[in-house]
Structure 1
Amino acid sequence: MRVGRMDEALVGLIGWEQEGCPPTVRCYTSMILGYCKLGRVDEAKGLVGRAEDKDAVMYTILIDALCRRGEVDEVEKILEGSEFNGWKPNDVTYNVYINGLCKLGEVDRAFRQLDVMRENGFLPTLETLHILFASLCRDQSDERLWEAKALLDRSNELDWDVNAYFYCTLMSKFCDKGMNKPVVSLLTCMFKRGIEPDTCTYTVVLRSLCKKKYLRKAKCIFHSMGSEADIVAYNTLLLGFNRANEHNEVYILFMNMVEDKVSPNGFTFCVLMDSLCRENKYPEAVDCFIQSIRNGFNRNLISRPIWWLVKEGKVKELLNLFEEMFGRGFVLNDFVFDPLIRAFCRKGLCRSVQSDIFSLIFDKMLSTR
């Protein structure tokens, strides 16, 4: 049925009724769906009232439309009067209503419907639990995250076969809030329940521990990954050690990475260059940049050593970097000029008394082109 010709269809339906040939439930349901798609919910309600035989499908369509308009009190009335009107909600009806409540931010009301659903003899389906869990995780409050954890804890009771994805999702939310203890607690719970953490789960735990500078614990977790450790896990731990100024650990971890045949990416080289520059190992940082170019990475990574050299006022080393690049066949154009100008501006040298340094460096660069 084309929703654009609903009024014509309604005339035909009324004609059948007047001729003593009442339309079927399926016919009414198609009409109700059409009106709901057009946003003409009141007319859809009227059709539900006209139908002699009613079923859960037509009411579920109407409930979905009412939820989209925020009319949840009207939905409650429909559900309360279901027995009187000769129909019974099914699991799809409850799922649609629970989903509508969650989208409206009525999470507590949605959980009450979960209890009503069970009281009426319906076990929550996977879809029901996924809807509730996702809604709790979307909420920004700490309270909702703890409720999501409580829901996971009840998964056996609810016959909910959860996997690493659900734990990883919740752990990531706790991690974003800087809440380390529940992240580790959830990992422990996974082991107790025989759920194998995946690489994503481990990485979230590493990120949480590194944020709190629990680097020894993070290192233990990392080593427990074994061959599962990928570039994201390595980079997470590398960044943690770099921020804690444990540069020797950065170099050891990078060497382990090479030995394990895990290919570094651009982020890896950025962290490594930062670590070398923090230790004033500028020639090594330049060598690191050259190595990244050999590995096929974007030459724009040069912005890392340039920023550090400008920040620390290492004019000689900066000029040596450009000489080195020129000697290796690089054309010193915008990929060097752009990050250099940005670095000088961030340092505030463009308008300072040190602007002669700025001019000196650019004159030297232009002479090597």
Structure 2
Amino acid sequence: MRSPSRPLPRLLLLRRRCLSSAPHRDRRFLPLLRFAALAKELSDHRPRPGTPPPPTRPRSPHPYDYNRLMSAHAGTRDGAGADRALHLLDEMRALLRRRPDAACFTTVAAALSSASRPGAALAVLDAMAADGVAPDAAACTVLVGVYACRLRRFDAAYEVVRWMVANGVAPDVVTYSTLISGLCSAGQVAEALGVLDLMLEEGCQPNAHTYTPIVHAYCTGGRIHEAKRLLNTMIASGFAPSTATYNVLVEALCKVGAFEEVDALLEESTAKGWTPDVITYSSYMDGLCKAGRIDKSFALVDKMLSNGLQPSEVTLNILLDGVCRSSTAWAAKRLLECSAELGWDANVVNYNTVMRKLCDEHRWLSVVKLFTDMAKKGIAPNSWTFNIVVHSLCKLGRLHKALCLLRSKEFVATVITYNTLIRHLSISGEGNEVCLLLYQMIEGGIAPNDITYSLVIDCLCREEKFLVALCCFYQSLEDDFFPSAFLSIIRGLIVGGMLGQLHTLIGCVLGQGFIIEVYIYQELIKALCKNGYCQSVEMYKVCHILERMLRLR
């Protein structure tokens, strides 16, 4: 397992760039907090009666206070926690003139890196260097993570490690594990094993977090035998694999259908010092359901409960999906309705799974009823829920109710929602309503796609509103949806007998530098022949159009 030693690249020089110049700044947020805590100075002796209380003086907030608040914001799941932590750092540096310590910079940089904003994280660490704050092992580890896990700049990550060694900041197990994780995610398993050798040479003992990315890389690459051998090596060396490590192996074994080996792992778990968790059983159930062994999946639920584990929403969705695969939507719907009696908390994803299955079986009314039941239970729908319900209402012919639902405050519309409504309104011959929906869609900040423009153009051409259809086509050119919209307007003009307008349109398109692909020529000829132009006295018009296209191509 030992790899030959490799020289580390040259020393990393931390850039000194002010945080205010970072491209990821967002000035919309005002500082979130004004510390106004007053520290009371209490006397050692009880004050005499009538003595006024001693004056209070404002206590200057310590960086530790800020760091606690930054950590709290960074741990939120609303996606804006990193921004709030960043602006608290701004407040310390600019408004309160309080110098942040290394922990404050590290907390904010880690939050930005976790939010997939590596550029902003690097800017924070640059500001740390600009302020003269010496980086510690934690700050350097965050920098290694940005380079290795986010930017895949492994030479720079190695340089950080070398800088740490040269400046007396010893890399710890977290530093090396972070570097190994980045290498494994990039598929460089051999390089990761080299880093593992390096940390052993430096006397840094690995742990389960060090080995788990390597096990995962082996499993992802189909090298399950090597993953199992690495697990045995860990155990023999005294490094106990964690439950997360075994979960990676369980998932890989389920993908190849090695369920007997999974059973053996679960049976040996107590002897090997690890405890299966909800993720372990959920992964096993998912593999069984996909293999059509739904009965054994439900048997695992009893085993989970006997071990004191409560199935999660993910577990329930795996079972629902398994029932949908092997049985009918009715059975899945019954399981969902009984989930509360079993003590399981169903969520919106669970309802969406069953409603999609009901759609597959064309049970549109059952979808609407399940949506009503979901609303009564206070489960907030998401965009997928609304898309499914709108589709079902349209299939039931209740376009008015679908449009009313679209206008409700709780509705989360997407381009799929509008395309569904436009398609069914087009079938019903509601051209004016289609144009109105397209306008509302753009005004609402939802960008139309190529399907949207094709549906609208087809509808307008069927209603012989060719001028409006041409305007819609030219709008699609601005949005860079040329091929599909072009085919729609070509077919519409041919069916409507508007060959003169077609001739002008082709000249305009070619004149603007658009390239007409071969398959568009084929579709054009098919449409002309299908509508009888190739066998009529107007054949010369067809030839003239094709000659113009070939001449300007």
The TM-score, its normalising length taken from structure 2, stands at 0.48
Conservation of the 8 A alpha-carbon contact between 2:423 and 2:455: yes
Q: Which amino acid aligns with 2:473?
A: F
Structure 2 matches for 1:260-339, cutoff 5 A?
260=444, 262-293=446-477, 295-300=478-483, 301-312=485-496, 314=497, 317-323=498-504, 326=507, 330=511, 334-335=515-516, 339=520
Q: Summarize deviations over 1:263-291 as a string: whole Å, max 9, x none.
A: 43433322221111111222332232223
User: 1:360 and 1:352 mapped to 2: Cα distance?
Assistant: 9
Give the match for residue 197 of structure 1.
381
1:250 aligns with 2:250: no
Q: Which amino acid aligns with 1:242?
A: S
Conservation of the 8 A alpha-carbon contact between 1:306 and 1:339: no
Give the match for residue 301 of structure 2.
114
Q: Which amino acid aligns with 1:196?
A: A
1:184 aligns with 2:368: yes
Give the match for residue 199 of structure 2.
none
Provide closer, same or farther for how the CA distance between residues 356 and 350 of structure 1 changes in structure 2, counting only shifts above 3 A.
Answer: farther
2:407 aligned counterpart, secondary structure: helix
Q: Summarize deviations over 1:163-183 as a string: whole Å, max 9, x none.
A: 323323332332233221232
Deviates more, 1:149-158 or 1:231-240: 149-158
Conservation of the 8 A alpha-carbon contact between 1:302 and 1:336: no
Conservation of the 8 A alpha-carbon contact between 1:299 and 1:335: no
Structure 1: segments with no counterpart, 5+ residues: 3-25, 44-54
Provide closer, same or farther for how the CA distance between residues 337 and 129 of structure 1 changes in structure 2, counting only shifts above 3 A.
Answer: closer
Q: CA deviation at 1:200?
A: 2.4
User: 1:59 and 1:198 mapped to 2: Cα distance?
Assistant: 34
Q: CA deviation at 1:74?
A: 8.4
Q: When you count helix as a share of all residues, which structure comes out higher?
A: 1
Root-mean-square deviation (CA), in Å?
A: 4.8
Give the match for residue 136 of structure 1.
323
Give the match for residue 360 of structure 1.
541
Conservation of the 8 A alpha-carbon contact between 2:313 and 2:347: no
Give the match for residue 220 of structure 1.
404
Q: Summarize deviations over 1:223-254 as a string: whole Å, max 9, x none.
A: 22567434332222111111222333323333
Conservation of the 8 A alpha-carbon contact between 2:253 and 2:259: yes
Provide closer, same or farther for how the CA distance between residues 147 and 115 of structure 1 changes in structure 2, counting only shifts above 3 A.
Answer: farther
Conservation of the 8 A alpha-carbon contact between 2:365 and 2:396: no
Q: Summarize deviations over 1:82-104 as a string: whole Å, max 9, x none.
A: 99x99997545644543442242
Provide closer, same or farther for how the CA distance between residues 96 and 280 of structure 1 changes in structure 2, counting only shifts above 3 A.
Answer: closer
1:271 aligned counterpart, secondary structure: helix
Q: Which amino acid aligns with 2:479?
A: G
Provide closer, same or farther for how the CA distance between residues 291 and 354 of structure 1 changes in structure 2, counting only shifts above 3 A.
Answer: same
Conservation of the 8 A alpha-carbon contact between 1:183 and 1:208: yes
Conservation of the 8 A alpha-carbon contact between 1:41 and 1:65: no
Deviates more, 1:153-162 or 1:70-79: 70-79
1:123 aligns with 2:310: yes
Q: Which amino acid aligns with 2:524?
A: A
Conservation of the 8 A alpha-carbon contact between 1:277 and 1:305: yes
Q: CA deviation at 1:198?
A: 1.8
User: 1:262 and 1:62 mapped to 2: Cα distance?
Assistant: 42
Provide closer, same or farther for how the CA distance between residues 101 and 165 of structure 1 changes in structure 2, counting only shifts above 3 A.
Answer: closer
Q: Which amino acid aligns with 2:347?
A: N
User: 1:41 and 1:263 mapped to 2: Cα distance?
Assistant: 46
Provide closer, same or farther for how the CA distance between residues 73 and 297 of structure 1 changes in structure 2, counting only shifts above 3 A.
Answer: closer
Provide closer, same or farther for how the CA distance between residues 62 and 151 of structure 1 changes in structure 2, counting only shifts above 3 A.
Answer: same
Q: Summarize deviations over 1:116-172 as a string: whole Å, max 9, x none.
A: 4324544324553343234334x1x552x3343333334434444443233233323
Give the match for residue 415 of structure 2.
231
Percent of residue pairs bearing the same amino acid type: 33
Q: CA deviation at 1:351?
A: 10
Conservation of the 8 A alpha-carbon contact between 1:206 and 1:237: yes
Q: Summarize deviations over 1:320-354 as a string: whole Å, max 9, x none.
A: 23325646883587528753541332564599861
Conservation of the 8 A alpha-carbon contact between 2:418 and 2:441: yes
The TM-score, its normalising length taken from structure 1, stands at 0.67
User: 1:67 and 1:332 mapped to 2: Cα distance?
Assistant: 53
Give the match for residue 175 of structure 1.
359
**Paired residue for 2:292, among 105, 108, 128?**
105
2:494 aligned counterpart, secondary structure: helix
Provide closer, same or farther for how the CA distance between residues 270 and 226 of structure 1 changes in structure 2, counting only shifts above 3 A.
Answer: farther
